[in-house]
Structure 1
Amino acid sequence: MKRTVTFLIVVCMLVLSLSSAFAVSVNDKVDNSQTVVNLLVDSINKGDWKTYVDLQANINREGIQGFINDADNAKNGLGIFNVKSAKIKEMKALSDDVVAQLTNLSQYKQQYNEVQAYLVGIDYRVKKENKYFFNGVNYNLVVLGKEADNWKVIEMSDAPLEILIPAGYGFGSEDEKEALKIIKARINGDIVNKEGKLIESNKASYRGIQIEKGINSADIQEAPMGVLSTGDHVRPDYIRVYHDRSSSDPNYHKTISTDFYYYVKNVLPNEWYSTWPSESLKAGAMAVKMYGWYHVYHPKWPSLNADVKDTTADQVFIDNTEVSSTTTAINNVGGVGLENSSGAVFETQYLAGTQGQPGTQSSGKMSQWGTKYWADQGTKTYIQMCHYYYDNSDKSSGAIATFSY
């Protein structure tokens, strides 16, 4: 009897010891990135928003806290408030060369001592299915960076399975195959759930892109309302933008649905100098348009009920800042989209570059000053500029291609 009691005491002490070893507090030093992913999903599952915010990188914390503090978001079950339960189903670490295809890894590496990313399948149960969360396993790209020796979450975006799976970076699971079907429907403008039920549509109509494509009224009257697309990609009707740029914005810390054409018109003059030559502005119009387009397919901020932010975290969007020269450039490339050599829309990243320099060929990042350089030289059209930066890069293993919409 004594031996049995002693044995049970030892076992209990061992269990308690092991439990305390794995009970990592967010206030403790967390030097294991995978532990942080587990803590993050656990905080979502428990609705522990303090821990959820504490796990975020400094650059995102205020905006996420602002969203959480807004009573309307909780009341209406928006973004992360839509989740009833969350549990990790499968997870794998991704190498830098893979992550560079999916997000702005080079920028993250400039900001953080170390960066690590994971492809994570999370089994969600939600209050109401939408583009950002559906019942079943959702796949996220979770990117973490080290701040003061602690791993923090930089990005938790929708994972582009249509890029990852053909390249051999998926799990090969049935859950993943079901999620891929949902993404493929989204690419064609239909937001559906696992059962294929239509939740909402985001297809631009003929009328919606009349000005951008320069279609005359007679053509509109003769054609049925529908989608203008000759390929596999449907031009979005709207994009959801989280206003995080300025406290003077009446929509500060709120997500607003914005007409996609209006969005592009009010981003380009805030990213390119409107006085630059037309070919430079057209190249910029392509980069700005396709960046937003990609993130309508793959929301960067599902927790905020948003596709993009209005800051340099994505693209600077400011209401009512349209300029005629940039709008003309947008209209001149209307009906033209970009896809990579695998036929997928990709994140058309860009950076400032250096004045008077062309920028790095095949870098996967368009140089803003580089587009002016080429336009001043008169040696490249806007499409040739796109090829210069994106061909044979981490965004496209071969030459990019255009498609019509």
Structure 2
Amino acid sequence: MKSAHVTAHYGPFPLSEALATRAQQDLLRRRVPTEGPTGPRLWVDRRAYLNFSANDYLGLAGDEAIKAALVAGVEQYGAGAGASPLVTGYSRAHQRLEETIAEWLGLEAVLLFNCGFSANQAVLGALLGKEHLLWQDRLNHASLQEMGSRLPCKMRRFAHNDMAALARQLEPGRGLIVSEGVFSMDGDQGPWPELARLAAQSHNWLMIDDAHGLGVLGPEGRGTLAAQGVSPDSVHIQMGTFGKALGVAGAFVGGSRELVDYLVNFARHYVYSTHMPAAQALAVSESIALVRGADERRAHLNHLIARFRQGAEQLGWTLGASQTPIQPLLVGESRAALALSERLREAGLWVGAIRPPTVPAGTARLRITLSAAHQEAHIDRLLDGLGLASNEGGQAHG
């Protein structure tokens, strides 16, 4: 009797060889199932760890009011949207969420997506043709880099946050400049006043991916542009996500009413995907209300960031130039990053090792993420773990 599963030892797809190569390079990825809700503690195989790997920057993923809004939404609308938004999947709950985001961020109109990856790719795919140019920061998210490489337009990448390099590349009125508010692996911010100036001078459009700035930075958590004093009118396209500081899931693209109407008609990721559940839209609306009033959470988070940075630097570790909840502790080689992550895990601290191709070769790191749900004692335990790891042979680069 033949097995139901066929091992791909032959044929056009050398899967085993590719996996073996990754394993030899200490780059093989594996999933670890967790138990229970996202929060400052993480349960794996019935053991509790302090969680320093999630993007739940304000500690809202387990908020009771958001959970109640989601449950009430399921009772009212059911568990799924049932169709794409242009069929029957667009509800009053979706419409109200779009209006809430537009008012919050000072935008004319907003369009909802299932995730930031699809939102980014939908925008680039709908706008850019062979007659256009696309300028991207070299450290932009994979969703942006990948889509840019597949489009008929010519993509030019500029050195990270190097505005002089971008200025040399720009051609008037030829296309789109894309950068991030907060870079997901380094935690630093894009120079948005200068980006807006260059876009205006060159008569090109400008797009921000603010997945990691929204909710954390600026008055009422309005994100990187508000934190840096940049008018939303000077940035043609804003993309933000609901699965980080907002604690839920999904994404949006915002800008002019004309842009949104265009995307409704030409963005394939929107037109041909089942919409996010209406219950999810209600949960995000509740989250935004909490985020707008979360100044104390943001102040506490900033205090924890400063406490961690001071302690890690005193221990001799090298950190990236980040003042956001993303704190990259630079190690260098993948094997060393994995070993350090494992030593911390043995101490009850869950910190993920980030390796190529997610980051450039030779820059493997621990991506430490802090949350407003953490306490000072949690930060001190992390610092104790890093100190112990250093004394036991972890290399502190300084």
Same fold (TM over 0.5): no
Greater Rg by CA: 1
Q: Quick one: higher RCO (CA 8 Å, sep 6+), 1 or 2? A: 2
**Normalised by the size of structure 2, how large is the TM-score?**
0.28
